[in-house]
Structure 1
């Protein structure tokens, strides 16, 4: 591996550490100086490197993820006040939050909360529970067949499967981060296994996990962060693009699926539909997919996977 490639991997690792810190400390004061310290760069070099790697400045990234987290909480945690959510997401006062939110989403936080929530995705179009199309942030609603009825919709997207509330154990993971289209995450898994296999971290019992760091119903797909991960039992020393993370134990809605590569959207729609009628709401933490097989070994090339969504009572 040449020096240029080594440098790129190290820079990516440092930027990942900054993103992870922001996600874990959303309610704290975070400025350019702190972010550059975490990345071990001078503020000047950090700003340039961060912007080059992610395509947005550090402050723009920080503001965006805070606002998107606030939007998620506004819809998922209806009992929390807008003020409570404002401070949870690191805004110093309600007026500055309100201005930033309206500038980013084109509506007030109160108006956003009153909107129907996107539950389903079909052919790239987002729908509410009653099958009404919902616009992507900053975009107009796409034209669709207005006669598309609930019965037809459910037949197309809802799977018959077992979903239950379970307490899932803590997961210690090593990961390679991917940002962008879901069907491209295989590239991150290739990098992860290329690093892990020589270090004897992969056995016949090894399970893979895709962790979702953003809500695709709110965050633009090109910005959605996904961690291609494997479960490890020991304190692994990581380097370069390979990071480590922990998914805490907790209560999850778990759906068990045996699906083709093209059916993940339908499986997630099934989970989201079930959740709206379950008596639960999304809890704190990340959603993830836990894979139980190598789809290449399946006679029909199917994934045996649990989709896990953290939940708490309504």
Structure 2
């Protein structure tokens, strides 16, 4: 085996590496290409690993983590505008953020801020979820 070539990660390690990279760069713009490049793998292999381990695509996982991050920001920094929260959570468009938030939680982010309702999965740690991949 070529010693200069990085070893191929198994599915669990690949998902773990991708998730760690996404969480560390949560507020930065990133594509599936960027994530796969960071993990030194192909987009199809990365997507297949996520679906096998988490039953979700890498980008959907990233959106969920960004939404959870936005909820944490809303709860911890109530004076920030939704635009600021959207940006800090890694969304490039407030309209996209609002649509995705409402589609996921059934309530818009502005209504959420006023309601004091905590979405069921906002306490779920998606990072440790990868440990169930076999």
Shorter-chain TM-score range = 0.7 to 0.9
| Distance (Å, rounded) in 2 between the aligned partners of 1:25 and 1:38 | 12
In terms of fraction of residues, the more strand-rich structure is 1
Q: Which has the higher contact order (CA 8 A, sep 6+)?
A: 2
Residue 97 (1) aligns with residue 97 (2): yes
Structure 2 unaligned blocks of 5 or more: 1-8, 130-134
| Distance (Å, rounded) in 2 between the aligned partners of 1:80 and 1:15 | 32
Contact 1:66 1:89 in 2 (8 A): yes
Contact 1:18 1:39 in 2 (8 A): yes
Q: Which runs of 4+ in 1 moved over 6 A?
A: none
Residue 107 (1) aligns with residue 107 (2): yes
Residue 64 (1) aligns with residue 67 (2): no
Q: Which residue of 2 aligns with 1:50?
A: 50
| Distance (Å, rounded) in 1 between the aligned partners of 2:16 and 2:78 | 31
Q: Which residue of 2 aligns with 1:142?
A: none
Alignment of 1:120-139 (within 5 A): 136-137=119-120
Provide the secondary structure at the position in 1 that maps to 2:59: helix
Per-residue CA shift, 1:195-242, capped at 9, x if unaligned? xxxxxxxxxxxxxxxxxxxxx7x1447x4628xxxxxxxxxxxxxxxx
- TM-score between the two structures when normalised by the length of structure 2: 0.80
Q: Which residue of 1 aligns with 2:14?
A: 14
Residue 225 (1) aligns with residue 128 (2): yes
CA RMSD across the alignment: 2.6
| Distance (Å, rounded) in 2 between the aligned partners of 1:56 and 1:50 | 6
Provide the secondary structure at the position in 2 that maps to 1:30: coil
Alignment of 1:102-181 (within 5 A): 102-116=102-116, 136-137=119-120
- TM-score between the two structures when normalised by the length of structure 1: 0.36
Residue 41 (1) aligns with residue 41 (2): yes
Per-residue CA shift, 1:69-112, capped at 9, x if unaligned? 11121122101111101001111121111111111111111111
Bigger CA radius of gyration: 1
Contact 2:12 2:49 in 1 (8 A): no
Residue correspondences, number: 124
Contact 1:14 1:38 in 2 (8 A): no
Structure 1 unaligned blocks of 5 or more: 1-8, 119-135, 138-215, 227-314
How far residue 39 of structure 1 moved from its aligned partner, in angstroms, is: 2.0
Q: Which residue of 2 aligns with 1:86?
A: 86
